[in-house]
Structure 1
Amino acid sequence: MDDPVTGRTILPGRTILLSGGTSRAGAVVAAAGLAAGATVLVAGRDPHKLDRLRAEVAGIATFRCDLTDEADVDALRSAVHAAHGAVDGILHLVGGWRGGGGLAGQTETDYRALETSLTALRLVSRAFDADLRASDAGREAIVSSTAVARPLAGGANYAAVKAACEAWTRAVAQGFAKAARDADEPQRAAAVIFRVRALAGLEQTLADAFLGLWSASAADLGTEPVELGAGTPN
């Protein structure tokens, strides 16, 4: 349902989780989610960033969690369920950039730092998979990069990790579709890839796109990446 005045998707009764959502993008999506009537949860590792986010966006609930640690993510699921029940949507915002210097400048340390986004995606999506399948409108989304389609030597590590995140998300989407087919039921859950050149300047665009997923049927969302715009170059 859309608000006839603002056009914003109304999400009363929905619970959404922003995984690694302590960034500027997380704050904007959190505020938009609250305005749309959703319960908004944010998970992150840094307690100071979580405190600042709660002060900036009144009404959200935050959970301290190392999203790259399986036991911590399992504890997050238990804490979320105890306080708010199952979730209907997840937006993965664990990310970052390291690159430059061609292939010679792509260090193993850089790769391992970037790889945390893939690890967090895998752990969180597995932990809350049953929630999204059980929801009458489960939605999961990642923020990827146009670098996947146009990789450069100086961003090889970054593009490789983002490509892996996209592959994982496509697999999640396939699982949702297969489960619906096997049960001979309408598809209710979907996983979506958003691509940006740079996220800075596109925070509200991301918020609108993510919340807008509930305005479309799961089967119509598909698995092709959705480019959100140019953003502000780094």
Structure 2
Amino acid sequence: MPEPVAGRTVAGRTVLIAGATSAAGHTAARTFALAGARVVAVGRDPERLAALSEWAMGISGDLTDEASVARIADEVHSAAGPVDGVLHLVGGWRGGGGLAGQSEADYRFLEQSFTALRLVSRAFDRDLRASDAGRLAIVSSTAVARPLAGAANYAAVKAASEAWTRAVAQGFAKSARDAGEPLRAASVIYRVKALDGLEQTLADAYAGLWGQDAAEINDTAITLSGA
């Protein structure tokens, strides 16, 4: 475990939660707000986002549509300024039935998470690189290390998401190296067997990234598990 950086926390940071209307999103929004962060919650459903109004500014839109993501980024920048962190929670599960049961419809549903990750990380990449402590994190699955035939679609999408997140990490490192500056941004993968019951663990882990040196956590995969 990396040593914490003295005095550095999520307090005062602007953090965007992509796919914020899930149970994990609610927990994260509350945790970050209580820790002193400015929280932006993004999701499709305005009514479900309204339930987060105590903790976060809600912006509705389709994170799988490039024009919608560009509009969301403009709204975020106008209302809250550049972001210091992105927590990607767009996801879902479909599977079963062995390899023959891996339908195209199920794959296209799952693929939305990867599409959203690509669009959101590109839209806010400049913000994260410019921040004195930018932090991007995704939730992946332990299935990536041992994919099963009945979850092949799911594991494939998660593997692609991990590859993209590692590419973001390499971009952060290259940008700092080219500028002759220390690395300040970090891109991290959290792997879980199942997220249910780990919502608070995830929120605390992500908030804690600001207390760790970027060079020690960039391009890392961390498995989260219950007590």
TM-score over 0.5 for the alignment?
A: yes
Q: 1:230 to 1:145 in 2, by over 3 A?
A: farther
* Cross-structure match for 2:174: 178
8 Å contact kept, 1:121–1:165: yes
* Cross-structure match for 1:22: 21
Structure 1 distance, partners of 2:14, 2:134, is 10
- 1:52 equivalent to 2:51? Answer yes
Cα distance, 1:230 vs structure 2: 5.2
| Percent identity of paired positions between Structure 1 and Structure 2 | 65
Structure 1 counterpart SS, 2:90 = coil
Q: Is there any run of 5+ residues in structure 1 with no aligned partner, and where?
A: 3-8
Structure 2 distance, partners of 1:156, 1:230, is 25
| Aligned residue pair count | 223
* Cross-structure match for 1:92: 88
- AA aligned to 1:122 is R
1:184-195 maps to which residues of 2 (within 5 A)? 184-195=180-191
8 Å contact kept, 2:10–2:208: no
* Cross-structure match for 1:6: none
Structure 2 distance, partners of 1:179, 1:162, is 26
Structure 1 counterpart SS, 2:105 = helix
Which of 97, 105, 108 in structure 2 is aligned with 1:109? 105
Structure 1 counterpart SS, 2:183 = coil
* Cross-structure match for 1:5: none
TM-score normalised per structure 2: 0.95
Structure 1 distance, partners of 2:145, 2:181, is 34
Which of 179, 196, 203 in structure 1 is aligned with 2:192? 196
- 1:211 equivalent to 2:207? Answer yes
TM-score normalised per structure 1: 0.92
* Cross-structure match for 1:161: 157
- AA aligned to 2:20 is G
- AA aligned to 1:119 is T
8 Å contact kept, 1:15–1:40: yes
- AA aligned to 1:209 is A
* Cross-structure match for 2:222: 226
* Cross-structure match for 2:11: 12
